[in-house]
């Protein structure tokens, strides 16, 4: 699907965009948000996608969503992303959300593939990026590697998740962690770099 429009809606309150390839999907873009889409980028929404949502009327933090050429955004579950979000999807890259919640000041830089599962709760000031951007020269080095965040994961405040990481189902990442290696299912990870400090955990959103 080709999307030729560029939405820059800082002056609007709320708009709703329903894309042709979406059955129940609808995008709601809130005030102080900008959505920039390359002509051959695509968005596939199976459920409601809210971007730049505000907790209160006076929250004027800006948000931006940018999809480059042949980039894809896939939303299969209802997703809420609050103000201060900056999300970029590079040429030919794929970013997917399974449905969940992202608090203020989320940053996602997707250069190849970032998959975020169902029921994932992301706290404030979280960064997720699947590339170093710049090259280092040593045997076995890969500049860009996909990130997989499985279902029902809780990511605490000020967490950074870097390339090549898989976070298992039901895991919790403690505030301030830098995740550079896999975290198994139902584990609590913490620290810089993040390591498993407890296993066999369960968590609830309320």
Catalytic residues: 134
Residue 3: which of 40, 48, 50, 49 has the closest Cα? 40
Question: CA 164 from chain center: how many Å?
Answer: 15
CB 199 within 8 A of CB 187: yes
Tell me the pairing of strands 7-8 and 33-37: antiparallel
Distance CA 111, CA 133 (A): 9
Query: In 3D, which of 41, 6, 35, 36 has the Cα closest to residue 21?
Result: 41
Q: How far apart are CA 79 and CA 155, in angstroms?
A: 15
Those residues with Cβ within 8 angstroms of residue 146's Cβ, 6 or more apart along the chain or in another chain:
112, 113, 114, 115, 130, 163, 164
């Amino acid at each position: 699907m080709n999307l030729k429009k560029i939405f820059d809606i800082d002056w609007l309150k709320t708009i709703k965009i329903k894309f042709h390839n979406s059955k129940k999907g609808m995008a709601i873009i809130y005030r102080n948000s900008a959505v920039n889409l390359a002509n051959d980028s695509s968005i596939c929404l199976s459920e409601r996608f809210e971007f730049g949502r505000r907790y209160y009327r006076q929250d004027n933090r800006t948000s931006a969503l940018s999809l480059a050429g042949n980039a894809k955004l896939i939303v299969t579950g209802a997703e809420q992303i609050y103000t201060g979000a900056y999300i970029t999807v590079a040429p030919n890259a794929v970013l997917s959300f399974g449905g969940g919640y992202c608090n203020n000041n989320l940053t996602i830089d997707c250069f190849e593939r970032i998959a975020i599962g169902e029921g994932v709760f992301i706290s404030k000031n979280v960064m997720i990026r699947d590339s170093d951007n710049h090259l280092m020269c040593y045997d076995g080095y890969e500049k860009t590697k996909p990130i997989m965040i499985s279902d029902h994961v809780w990511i605490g405040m000020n967490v950074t998740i870097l390339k090549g990481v898989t976070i298992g189902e039901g895991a919790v990442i403690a505030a301030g962690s830098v995740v550079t290696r896999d975290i198994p299912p139902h584990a609590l990870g913490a620290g810089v770099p993040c390591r498993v400090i407890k296993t066999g955990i369960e968590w609830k959103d309320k």
